[in-house]
Amino acid sequence: MVAVTEPIDPVVRLAISQWPDDAPRGAVSTFCAEHGISRKSVYALRKRARTDGPAAVLEPRTRRPKSSPSAVSDEVKGHAVAVRAALEASGLDHGPISVHDKMHAMGLEQVPSPASLARIFREAGVARLEPKKKPRSAWRRFVYPAPNACWQLDATEYVLSGGRKCVIFQLIDDHSRYAVASHVAFGETAKDAIAVVDKAIATHGVPQRLLSDNGLALNPSRRGYVGQLVGHVGALGVEAITGKPYKPTTQGKNERFHQTLFRYLDKQPLAGSLAELQAQVDAFDHVYNTQRPHQGLPGRVTPLTAWEATPKADPPRPKPDRPVVAERVPGRYQFPRAQPPTDLPANTCVRTVSAVGNIGLDSVSYKVGGQHGFRQVLVVSDGDKVIITDLDGEVLAERTRPAPGVKYVGNGRPRGLRPKTMKASPKS
């Protein structure tokens, strides 16, 4: 904390103005110690008394600078308040940072800093001090390294004229915050979720991941079954992931995106049909992507700039369809078997992974992984090594032949139930 210097008492000033020139040595130090002032102040006041007269010492002089080149003029303050009002009327963000960026984009000669703009708005009565809205420095922000590495999908309710409810699907890119697609529907259904994803894929390519909540129409995997959207994007090789239940912060970027959309729609005429609302949402996406600097992006650039600044992530490889259960026979299941490839080398054979993720070779069971159940794989014998690949040649596992008498080779993990851990689920 910086100490505030108190003004020197007028009685002390009078004594300094009448200070004798023949005062004994050490008198100034003793005088300063008795009255709690510095020697520098005493000598400065004595110099002023000699140049301007004793009366000039009795009153303190103002510390205000003779000029303030950085002072904000009333004209600039008026411009700032007008820009804020225009942004607010358009339904866009109108905080000090947004106004600062907008004034720069308008090419104004003098643009106050965001802190100065906040003070100007409080003085003008159009904003108030809100200490609780100060950003926390403890947050660790996570972002994917490239566009199309992950998309976030979420739906939010809206009301048309007459009180009719509808749903707005919003799909954004995690890396750049770019709005890749939006879709308006009467309900949150899997059909409409697939429609918005297909719209984005047709324009921007296939993403590597798709993040959503655990809604029935989006990703009900945590409920024990595969949804239509998950199956649809899974056929393209897209990994569908979800956040933890009741933890909407995982989809925080999309939740904040809803807030920005609602602020914009509140300033527009209330739509009477899905087509009208879709037109308003499309107009918002254009402004959001190309004109609105995003405060969550480095350098506060627009999402379009961030989208184009980094090469897009490679599209995923579509996964082959797994065989399905053909029929149930009492006591066991039967699965359709595909015709094995022909012209295989002598040390290569085809095996079908069991339901628990094992394959058999020379009376030994080798662990591959439960996620590969019912798939046909290639097993290559290379000396003491057993290499297991899919039909495209991608290595799934490598195992070492066991000693004689050993009938099972695992993956190095203990068999049976795994102990509970505090690690996050890979689907989170």
Q: pLDDT band for 417, please (50, 70, 90 cuts).
A: low
Q: How many domains does the chain have?
A: 4
**Residue 66 domain-assigned (yes or no):** no
Q: What is the mean pLDDT of the chain?
A: 83
Q: pLDDT band for 143, please (50, 70, 90 cuts).
A: confident
Taking residues 176-197, report their average pLDDT.
93
Is a pLDDT exceeding 70 seen at residue 398?
yes
Q: Residue 135's pLDDT is what?
A: 61
- Render pLDDT for 229-262 as a digit per residue (tens, 0 to 9): 998 998 899 999 988 887 777 888 888 888 889 9
Are 247 and 171 contained in the same domain?
Answer: yes
**Which of 258, 279, 309 is where one domain is finished?**
309
**Residue 315 domain-assigned (yes or no):** no
- Render pLDDT for 273-295 as a digit per residue (tens, 0 to 9): 999 999 999 999 999 999 888 88
**What residues form DSSP beta bridges with 152?**
172, 211
**Residue 224 domain-assigned (yes or no):** yes
What ranges in 126-273 are assigned the alpha helix state H?
190-204, 228-234, 252-265
Domain containing residue 208: CATH number: 3.30.420.10
Question: Rounded distance, CA 114 to CA 340, Å?
Answer: 68
Q: Using alpha carbons only, what angle is made at residue 152 by residues 282 and 301, rounded to the nearest 5 degrees?
A: 65
**Residue 108 domain-assigned (yes or no):** yes
Are 305 and 157 contained in the same domain?
Answer: yes
Are 302 and 353 contained in the same domain?
Answer: no
Q: Residue 284's pLDDT is what?
A: 92
Q: Largest alpha-carbon pair distance within the chain?
A: 122
> What H or E segment, with its residue span, contains residue 35?
helix 27-35
Percent of the chain topping pLDDT 70? 87
Taking residues 401-425, report their average pLDDT.
70
Are 296 and 220 contained in the same domain?
Answer: yes
Are 181 and 285 contained in the same domain?
Answer: yes
SS3 of residue 385 by DSSP: strand
Taking residues 178-185, report their average pLDDT.
94
- Render pLDDT for 348-394 as a digit per residue (tens, 0 to 9): 888 888 888 899 988 899 998 888 888 888 888 888 889 888 887 78
Taking residues 145-157, report their average pLDDT.
92
Are 302 and 223 contained in the same domain?
Answer: yes
Question: Rounded distance, CA 106 to CA 91, Å?
Answer: 18
**Residue 69 domain-assigned (yes or no):** no
The string over 323-338, giving b where at least 16 C-beta atoms fall within 10 Å of a residue's C-beta and e elsewhere, is eeeeeeeeeeeeeeee
Q: Residue 306's pLDDT is what?
A: 92
Look up residue 296 and give its two tokens. Answer: 């969550």
- Render pLDDT for 71-106 as a digit per residue (tens, 0 to 9): 888 788 888 888 888 888 888 878 888 888 888 888
Question: Rounded distance, CA 75 to CA 69, Å?
Answer: 15
Which domain range does residue 386 map to? 348-409
Residues in Cβ contact with 99 at an 8 Å cutoff, skipping those fewer than 6 apart: 80, 83, 84, 87, 117
Q: Residue 428's pLDDT is what?
A: 44
Are 110 and 156 contained in the same domain?
Answer: no
Are 363 and 270 contained in the same domain?
Answer: no
**Residue 417 domain-assigned (yes or no):** no
**Residue 104 domain-assigned (yes or no):** yes
Are 177 and 264 contained in the same domain?
Answer: yes
The string over 124-144, giving b where at least 16 C-beta atoms fall within 10 Å of a residue's C-beta and e elsewhere, is eeebeeeeeeeeeeeeeeebb
